Structure 1
Amino acid sequence: MKSTCFFILAIVDLIFILISVIFGDPDKIFLGLASIIKESDILITDYIAIGGIEGAFFNAGLVGLFVLALYRINKLEINGSLIAAHFTTLGFALFGKNVVNIWPMIIGVYLYSLYQREPFKNYILIAVFGTTLSPAVVQFAFLNLFGRFSIVLGILIAVFLGFLFPPLAKFCLKLHQGYCLYNTGLAGGLMATIMMSKFRAFGIDFERRLVLSVGNNLLFTVIFSIIFICFIAYGLRERNLLKKYKELCKTTGRLYSDYHNEFGCRVTFFNMGLLGLIFIYYVILIKGELTGPIIGAILTIVGFGALGKHVLNTIPVLLGTIISSILNIWDVNSQSIILASLFGTNLAPISGEFGWIFGIIAGFLHVSVVMNMSYLHGGLNLYNNGFAGGVVATVLVPIISSIFRKKVEYKY
């Protein structure tokens, strides 16, 4: 069954490559990919706008296959964490991660594993998620501080960040106690904030960026609806699916709730497909635009459908973000608010553990916090919502557990 899951992940990656050929111009695939590699990757850079459908989806498919190659080379058996890492990286390969900039961070984590004299497979998850800081490679090269050696500087800085990333990521889990699913977003945000603070002290800053594609709603709705329906159809082959799915929806989702290991591949993909359909049609319902970042956010939700997210613990957080956007100054269908609503579901464990009301409160707070976080790290941390979610969970969980006398088993 685990080999079947690996095969499904590989098929999804190949579908992305196929999309680039069928719905883009095959002759422009490598031109689009080259444009993506040479461009700044800081938030928010939509690769569909930079390299077209052909370049963006080809890049995403290759990145996904590279991640699977890392799994295979290190002889890892597929579980919920690896599924979540794969889909998150696949999604962010539409806006920020590419076939070149992911490797320095991964190499840095590999060097850390050598330093610790431990197998690299113990750090694969951190290495893949750690590519949240991939924009540092090109962005530091753009500073052109050392002429032709600037790109080398960018690579070395990214490798160094990768080396420092594992201990910080592990410690951040203690801060929010597993109630923020995008743990590496908090770690990446803290690290990038410190870096940007020092750069700004020397008068170096990065311009804020907002590059988005438009006009692909019908195409993307059809393509991804088919993919998610296929996931659901695969899950429907499971015996006692309804009973098992009810049990899955009773879980809190707190890290690490591995649905693949606990409920099996079919139930997991049923949950993933259901989440994918719900959130893609949510975007369409509010008349949002299915851009690269939005598709990336939906794929991240789908991936974490194997590691903590389900319908009952995500919807309350989504409601909280909607209420916040209605009461605040932002439009509910603006790109920033849609991204906050989708990625804000990283706080789903709060809803699962403490109830719907607190899930709504978490989502309500998340929107305001995330809108102020990107300045801190200068757009270098792709998991901006993970950073904000980690902060919200770190503050909110101890308050809830103390005031409302809800016992939390702390993990150290």
Structure 2
Amino acid sequence: MKSSGKIGFEKALVGEGGKVAFLFSFGIALCLFGLSRDSFQDILSGLWRILIEPDYLISDYMDVGGMGAAFVNSGLLTVLFTSILVFLRVHIRGISIAAVFTVAGFSFFGKNLLNVWFIVGGVWLYARSQKEPFLKFIYIAFFGTALAPLVSQLMFGFHFPPYLRIFLGSAAGLSAGFLLPPLAAAFLSVHHGYNLYNVGFTAGMVGTLYVSVFRSHGFITASRIIWSTGHNGLLFPVCAAFFLFLAAAGLLLGGGKSPGALRSLWRHSGRLLADFVDMFDFPATLINMGLTGLAATAYLYFSGGDFNGPTLGGLLTIAGFSAMGKTPLNITPILLGVMLGSVTKDWSLTDPPIQLAALFGTTLAPIAGEFGWIAGVLAGYVHSSVVLNVGVLHAGFNLYNNGFAGGIVAAILVPLIEAFRGREKR
């Protein structure tokens, strides 16, 4: 699965308006599904509970506010973040889809209509301070909302006077967002693009810094897992139908007329920055999103996992990054590595953190894409251990814990793999 060159298209099969309509339709569909699950009054009260919940890992919004409120929260944020792209006249590419789908996914367990804007505002302030357009850092702002729980915890998780809680939460969010742009570019060189969640790695570093300050002042949060169950009968077929729809839509939009594009896409390693929409056009990317999402859905179902807020977030993030690096071929070895870990390690595939480790651990898919299946299985196996032990550093305030762990794994494994591969070629 080596990298291949860009496919030349005389004209894009789907224009800018079609891609924008797709993202808006996705957000509206999430809202409509949520509205069908609970009464309007229950959804409003559920959204309020979501807003005032300290959101550090793991906080399943389906348990906190109910399924209806969780879907509406995700749908509204999807529409709002898509509107930002439209307002700034951003060209919709693979990274745009990855960013919006990641926001949508994590809006089921950590991002809400209040806490994300302080991180975005901090990135905007950094752009102003550097006299640069905000557009230059827009995706760092979107992905950087991984640190949104910092805001919620300080505003609602401590027994300070209200004015102090609001000030501390606002200051933490704005300052964290301000730090992200210069650090994200620097940390990319640590893992050389083999960890797709680069901002997650950066956010883990920033979160560790803030949590260290909190702990040194005696502010220690107890670890927790808010994890709902019992939704598989509804959400499994819904997820399967959604990903089938994406694949079918890609075929209908012309992806089937360019089979070479899909084959070339699957041969690509997925290493950052692999923008599949720019390289292989939108229909082929949609097919890849659908089939990769189906593969992940099948894994979760047959491994006995739960379909709930956090795992739905994992599935949507996989689908989003299937526009920017992931394919069925390069995520499968990572999943197999986690499965192998369940045989030799002291945990089960159905443990909540391991379910997330498998889904979000596909951040390391480029290792499998570049170095082959054995390297991918090894990466998944190692990642399943590392991710269980690094969360203590940022205390769950970085929602992209797997991105943090993935950066560490890639930084260590990739040089070793390259060294031994180079030795074999000599």
- TM above 0.5, one fold? yes
Distance 1:351 1:331 in 2: 24
Q: Does 1:95 align with 2:109?
A: yes
AA matched with 1:207: A
Counterpart mapping for 1:238-257 below 5 A: 238=254, 239-257=256-274
Which residue number corresponds to residue 118 of structure 1? 132
Q: Does 1:219 align with 2:225?
A: no
Deviation at 1:332, TM superposition (A): 1.2
Worse overlay, 26-35 or 236-245? 236-245
User: Which of 354, 357, 371 lines up with 1:340 in the alignment?
Assistant: 357
User: Which of 241, 244, 266 lines up with 1:229 in the alignment?
Assistant: 244
Q: Does 1:191 align with 2:206?
A: yes
Deviating above 4 A after TM superposition, structure 1's stretches of 4 or more consecutive aligned residues are none
Which residue number corresponds to residue 138 of structure 1? 152
Is the contact between residue 43 and residue 96 of structure 1 (CA under 8 Å) also seen in structure 2?
yes
In 2 relative to 1, CA 406–267 (structure 1 residues): closer, same or farther, beyond 3 Å?
farther
Distance 1:24 1:245 in 2: 40
Worse overlay, 119-128 or 148-157? 148-157
Unaligned runs of 5+ residues in structure 1 are 408-412
SS in 2 for 1:331: coil
AA matched with 2:405: A
SS in 1 for 2:89: coil
Deviation at 1:403, TM superposition (A): 2.5
AA matched with 2:311: I
Worse overlay, 86-95 or 240-249? 240-249
Query: Per-residue CA shift, 1:68-118, capped at 9, x if unaligned?
Result: 011011110100001000001100000000011000000000011111111
Deviation at 1:211, TM superposition (A): 0.5
Counterpart mapping for 1:219-368 below 5 A: 219-237=234-252, 238=254, 239-368=256-385
Which residue number corresponds to residue 12 of structure 1? 26
Is the contact between residue 138 and residue 151 of structure 1 (CA under 8 Å) also seen in structure 2?
no
User: Which of 45, 68, 75 lines up with 1:31 in the alignment?
Assistant: 45
Deviation at 1:344, TM superposition (A): 0.6
User: Which of 152, 168, 179 lines up with 1:164 in the alignment?
Assistant: 179
Deviation at 1:406, TM superposition (A): 7.7
Deviation at 1:228, TM superposition (A): 1.2
Query: Per-residue CA shift, 1:307-345, capped at 9, x if unaligned?
Result: 000011111111111101221011112211111011111
AA matched with 1:334: D
Is the contact between residue 137 and residue 155 of structure 1 (CA under 8 Å) also seen in structure 2?
yes
User: Which of 195, 199, 202 lines up with 2:217 in the alignment?
Assistant: 202
Deviation at 1:143, TM superposition (A): 2.7
Distance 1:175 1:54 in 2: 40
Query: Per-residue CA shift, 1:273-312, capped at 9, x if unaligned?
Result: 1111111121111121111000000000000000000011
Deviation at 1:145, TM superposition (A): 4.2
Worse overlay, 358-367 or 396-405? 396-405
Which residue number corresponds to residue 6 of structure 2? none
Distance 1:321 1:273 in 2: 22
User: Which of 66, 82, 86 lines up with 1:68 in the alignment?
Assistant: 82
How many aligned residue pairs are there? Answer: 407
AA matched with 1:325: S
Query: Per-residue CA shift, 1:325-369, capped at 9, x if unaligned?
Result: 221011112211111011111001111111111111110100000
Which residue number corresponds to residue 106 of structure 1? 120
AA matched with 2:222: E
Which residue number corresponds to residue 143 of structure 2? 129
AA matched with 2:181: P
Query: Per-residue CA shift, 1:251-270, capped at 9, x if unaligned?
Result: 01000100001111111010
Query: Per-residue CA shift, 1:212-253, capped at 9, x if unaligned?
Result: 111111211222222211111111132434322111011010
TM-score for the superposition, normalised by structure 1: 0.96
Distance 2:261 2:102 in 1: 25
Distance 1:203 1:403 in 2: 46
SS in 2 for 1:309: coil
Q: Does 1:57 align with 2:71?
A: yes
Distance 2:288 2:423 in 1: 28
Is the contact between residue 326 and residue 332 of structure 1 (CA under 8 Å) also seen in structure 2?
no
AA matched with 2:34: S
Worse overlay, 92-101 or 238-247? 238-247
In 2 relative to 1, CA 122–289 (structure 1 residues): closer, same or farther, beyond 3 Å?
same
Distance 2:112 2:300 in 1: 25
Which residue number corresponds to residue 397 of structure 2? 380
Distance 1:357 1:129 in 2: 30
In 2 relative to 1, CA 146–232 (structure 1 residues): closer, same or farther, beyond 3 Å?
same
Worse overlay, 83-92 or 231-240? 231-240
Distance 1:326 1:293 in 2: 24
Which residue number corresponds to residue 195 of structure 2? 180
Deviation at 1:146, TM superposition (A): 5.0
User: Quick one: percent identity of the two aligned structures?
Assistant: 40
Distance 2:65 2:160 in 1: 27
Distance 1:94 1:368 in 2: 25
AA matched with 1:373: V
